[in-house]
Amino acid sequence: MSELRKFLFDGLPVRGAIVRLTDAWQEILRRRASNAATGAYPPPVQALVGEMTAAAVLMQSGIQFEGALVLQIFGDGPVKVAVVEVQSDLRVRATCSVVGDVADDADLGDMVNQTGQGRCAITLDPTHKMPGQQPYQGVVALTSDEDRSFTRVADVLRHYMLRSEQLDTLLVLAANDEVAAGLLIQRLPVKGDANLAGQAARGEAEAPVAEDADVQGRNEHFNRIAHLASTLTRDELLSLDVETVLRRLFWEEQVMSFTPLTGESGPRFACTCSRERVGNMIRGLGVAEAESILAERGDIEVSCEFCGQQYRFDPVDAAQIFAPPGSLTPGSSSVQ
């Protein structure tokens, strides 16, 4: 079962989280693969979306915020947009549009940053907005300060957190066709909540960076723990359970682990699409358009852009959509 575990290091200004998505990730892949229009993700895209999904859960877990965290990569290569949305209660969905061939050995740059135009955006969209409040969004290029295209999602997000949030972060991410997993280690912000959430609440563009004498010591602890974390291989992350990873990496540290979040309180797949919503969309097309699709194809088939779920409406289903409430029994010919 999918699991998120948060942990702290006793007395140190460092926090961590580890996520292991199994059923939730497999459901995302299953829906995609069963969509006849798109088919399954090519392996490098599967890894990209899986790593983004694990990362988005980790980032959502570190902020005090009610709403959706949306992690997006806008690409200039065969992958146009990859999107992951994680609600504060850890409901997750993800999608990706692929328009060209992706080689089996394609790296991040090949997929989304061929000409340096690729972008990564993180949006915090609060559930309850104040009047006029815009969602908070930060955007970074997929290119390092030394003008090299990043080859891994973890490096993009580390760059993002440092540049956009002034937070030292280390991420290890990995995904295959069964597991999407990630480890996050972050230096605690100097004051208050995580900068990301603080900014969303206050609408500030910049958070202050502490310059006091304390900083050196704080960095030392973070650097040591981040170094330990960076020794975790992707194979280990995919194959070992959470407990084993923590014990293996941090056996010399005083780790204070929170209760694992699993099941209904843990990360789980959920899409907001439904047959009813799709029906409303078809109603919006108008009866003439719907009938012309029915005449041409025999039924109306719509798939959710976000999760790939397909919804099929035969002529009887379609007639019900356009019937005035309570006026029609299935199969009636009163709809023109």
Q: Using CB under 5 A, list all residues that contact Zn ion.
A: 271, 273, 304, 306-307, 309
Q: Closest CB to Zn ion among 92 and 237?
A: 92
Determine the 3-state secondary structure of 122 from DSSP. Answer: strand
Q: Decide: 1 and 23 in contact? Cβ < 8 Å.
A: yes
Determine the 3-state secondary structure of 102 from DSSP. Answer: coil
Cα–Cα distance measured from residue 291 to residue 276, given in angstroms and rounded to the nearest whole number? 19
Q: Decide: 139 and 124 in contact? Cβ < 8 Å.
A: no
Cα–Cα distance measured from residue 42 to residue 133, given in angstroms and rounded to the nearest whole number? 39
Determine the 3-state secondary structure of 233 from DSSP. Answer: coil
Q: Closest CB to Zn ion among 136 and 311?
A: 311
Q: Closest CB to Zn ion among 86 and 307?
A: 307
What is the closest distance, in whole angstroms, from the C-beta atom of residue 91 to Zn ion in the complex? 12
Q: Closest CB to Zn ion among 255 and 270?
A: 270
Instruction: For residue 273, count CB atoms less than 10 angstroms from its CB and return exposed for 0-12, middle for 13-18, buried for 19 or more.
Output: buried
Q: Closest CB to Zn ion among 123 and 309?
A: 309
Number of residues that make up the chain: 336
What is the closest distance, in whole angstroms, from the C-beta atom of residue 275 to Zn ion in the complex? 11
For the record, the structure tokens of 213 come out as 């004498």
What is the closest distance, in whole angstroms, from the C-beta atom of residue 309 to Zn ion in the complex? 5
What is the closest distance, in whole angstroms, from the C-beta atom of residue 27 to Zn ion in the complex? 11
Q: Closest CB to Zn ion among 255 and 306?
A: 306
Cα–Cα distance measured from residue 124 to residue 132, given in angstroms and rounded to the nearest whole number? 15
What is the closest distance, in whole angstroms, from the C-beta atom of residue 306 to Zn ion in the complex? 5
What is the closest distance, in whole angstroms, from the C-beta atom of residue 301 to Zn ion in the complex? 14
What is the closest distance, in whole angstroms, from the C-beta atom of residue 282 to Zn ion in the complex? 15
Q: Which residues pair with 48 in a beta bridge?
A: none
Q: Closest CB to Zn ion among 174 and 271?
A: 271
Can you list the positions of beta strands (E) in the chain? 3-9, 14-21, 67-74, 79-87, 91-98, 119-126, 136-141, 169-175, 180-187, 255-257, 261-262, 268-269, 300-303, 310-313
What is the closest distance, in whole angstroms, from the C-beta atom of residue 302 to Zn ion in the complex? 10
Q: Closest CB to Zn ion among 68 and 249?
A: 68
Distances (CA, A) of 236 to 3, 79, 175, 276: 16, 28, 11, 43
